[in-house]
Structure 1
């Protein structure tokens, strides 16, 4: 199996962690979005990351890849069979992908990626995300952990936890100004999930890139 995409992408990081949790061996090929790499483009025709190859089978999009892996390798299930739990897991993944990532992306893009690419950052967009867009999302996630639970859904790790925790590393890289005192349970949850062995490989790959702008 081959996972295409820069580890700095929370979507690539998510798939890498899912592969790790399932104990699946894979090769990581760090390519940028839109890269002119024939093998990558075969798997991701629109140039989005991650792309994924399993033998002759190609697929793109982190959610599609995760569902494929869940169906083909059901051991260490990341998506519950129970209808209500399954619905909640997919809801949290959607929140992460479409509500959490955009403001985090504004911070990360303008404080890290712009420097990597040598382009002019938009600091106002990063500050707006910190002060206005991101706090309501963090407050919602804090509320979902208010009863002291270890995981977002049920009593074991699921895709929900990996999807939600994955983007938070980009806040750290972007030196986001977040009042973590307002979100203590969320902070503890994120730290605990990102410390899992399944994230180690992608986070090590991050360091090689972040070092260029540290």
Structure 2
């Protein structure tokens, strides 16, 4: 039975669920929601507060990316993307929360002001606030990543897990808003991100996002 994921992968949370589902080999489709589109009634059933992503699978509906990937992982245990060993599982959830911190600390200021507000809401963003967040807040978060990325190039268990998806996804969205990891200041983090985003599960959505942004670029 095909799953329906509601949202747009420009959202780091929607992209997280799409990458997770792809890595799991699940059968799914993405129904666009956001960007001024009128949401279908089925989306409102899955997400009563209109937050993306939403999920519909048969009669089952749920929202929130963490809830969705938890459901997917239980439904399709292999490949195992949320470790079951206690410490590895805890670290994975920690890095998922770190990804949320990236969104909260930088995404709202940088992505909203540089991309969402001017491109999709037709309102000028606060570019000074975006610049300040990139100058002062973003580097501190990258400083932390630079100290914890293992030699294997994966955050947990020396293999690809939800931790990598959850951290790389908001960094990919920030890059759409011209906020990049500085390879000079954070070489391990830059190499790590390049490796994770090169995976087909990420590369496909990112190519579509870049094409969409180019096609909708203001004249």
CA contact (8 A) 1:130 1:177 kept: no
**Structure 2 length normalisation: TM-score?**
0.91
How much does 1:177 deviate?
6.1
Name whichever of 180-189 and 7-16 sits farther off.
180-189
Q: How does 1:62-211 map to 2 (within 5 A)?
A: 62-97=65-100, 99-102=101-104, 103-117=106-120, 118-145=122-149, 147-176=150-179, 179-211=182-214
- Runs in 1 of length 4+ with deviation above 4 angstroms? none
| Distance of 1:157 and 1:178 partners within structure 2 | 20
Corresponding residue number in structure 2 for 1:56: 59
- C-alpha deviations, 1:79-129, integer Å up to 9, x for none? 1110000000000001111x1112133211111112222111100110111
TM-aligned CA deviation for residue 148 of structure 1: 2.2
Q: Residue 205 of structure 1: CA displacement? A: 3.1
Q: Which moved more, 1:155-164 or 1:34-43?
A: 34-43
SS in 1 for 2:184: helix
SS in 2 for 1:181: coil
Q: What are the ranges of 5 or more consecutive residues in structure 1 without an aligned counterpart?
A: none
Whole-angstrom CA distance in 1 between matches of 2:78 and 2:137 = 37
Relative contact order, CA 8 A, sep 6+: which one is greater?
Answer: 1
How far residue 213 of structure 1 moved from its aligned partner, in angstroms, is: 1.9
SS in 1 for 2:5: strand
- 2:21 counterpart of 1:19: yes
Tell me, in whole angstroms, the C-alpha distance in 2 between the residues paired with 1:193 and 1:30.
25
Determine if contact 1:33/1:49 at 8 Å carries over to the other structure.
Answer: no
Encode CA deviations 1:25-55: one digit per residue, 9 max, x unaligned.
2111110189542111010000000001111
Q: Provide closer, same or farther for how the CA distance between residues 120 and 4 of structure 1 changes in structure 2, counting only shifts above 3 A.
A: same
RMSD after superposition: 1.7
User: What is the aligned partner in structure 2 of residue 6 from structure 1?
Assistant: 8
Q: TM-score, normalised by structure 1?
A: 0.93
**Which 5+ residue runs of structure 2 have no aligned equivalent?**
none
